Amino acid sequence: MSVSEAVTSLIRELVDANHILFDQSVVDGFGHVSARHPERPDRFLLARSMAPALVTEKDVLEFDLDGNPVIPGGPAPYLERFIHGEIYRKRPDVMSVVHSHSPSVVPFSVVPGIKLQPVCHMCGFLSAKGTPIFEIRDFAGPGSDLLITSGKLGAALADSLGEGSAVLMRGHGSTVVASTLRQAVFRAVYTEVGARLQMEAMRLGPVTFLTEEETVGTTKTISAQYDRSWFLWLKAARNSPMSQ
Ligand code: MN
């Protein structure tokens, strides 16, 4: 079976995305990034279960939206692959998903009454109303491992995301979505940056957040600029000692 140039080049870019997300401290040994299959909208591409910094092209697997590998009997997949499939199922506009435990975001998932909101123009993709928080206890009971290990939990997370670009997962991490892989990487990095900036600002006093209108304006302008940070981050990742 021959693989088209579109798929080959997307797999290459997905490998780069894995390395960038590690180099930018969004993922560590855990976390994952996927892309919807360019020719089969009912499938997505995601590495086998491994540290993102070590992913190569041969580690990328194809899954159906139920989270089953298209070629059975292969290497172990990520336990939380259901995050990806269920979001692609619910959101036809989403072409890429990043799930991470990026550390500055987690505090916003565990303090009632405090919401992650956009503090600066680079974070205009975050909701001005506050980023939704997925409470897994509502679906998995009081004693779960907090992971999205089934289609049922993935679908509940996708519901919590709604039409937004980010959802926090209580005591766990976050998931961001976008209409391209590069945009998803950008959003994952700036969700972490935005959380850090918001915490810094809150230490100083009451915070002025972006308005709904400002989130629209900033997102429109930045949407022509993702390649600028992508190629910078790619060079940094390739020059990192991890790539040697
Ligand atoms: Mn996780």
Could you tell me the CATH number of the domain that includes residue 166?
A: 3.40.225.10
> What is residue 199's DSSP assignment?
H
Span from the CA of 3 to the centroid of ligand 1 (angstroms): 30
For 19, the token pair is: 């390395």
Span from the CA of 5 to the centroid of ligand 1 (angstroms): 31
What gap in Å lies between CA 84 and CA 67, rounded to an integer? Answer: 8
pLDDT tens digits for the chain (244 residues)? 578 999 999 999 999 999 999 999 999 999 999 999 999 999 999 999 999 999 999 999 999 999 999 999 999 999 999 999 999 999 999 999 999 999 999 999 999 999 999 999 999 999 999 999 999 999 999 999 999 999 999 999 999 999 999 999 999 999 999 999 999 999 999 999 999 999 999 999 999 999 999 999 999 999 999 999 999 999 999 999 888 7
The reply to whether 111 falls in a domain is yes
Containing domain of residue 69, as a range?
Answer: 5-234
80 is catalytic: yes
The reply to whether 242 falls in a domain is no
- Split into its structural domains, the chain has a count of 1
Span from the CA of 189 to the centroid of ligand 1 (angstroms): 16
What gap in Å lies between CA 46 and CA 23, rounded to an integer? Answer: 19
Residue type, 57: E
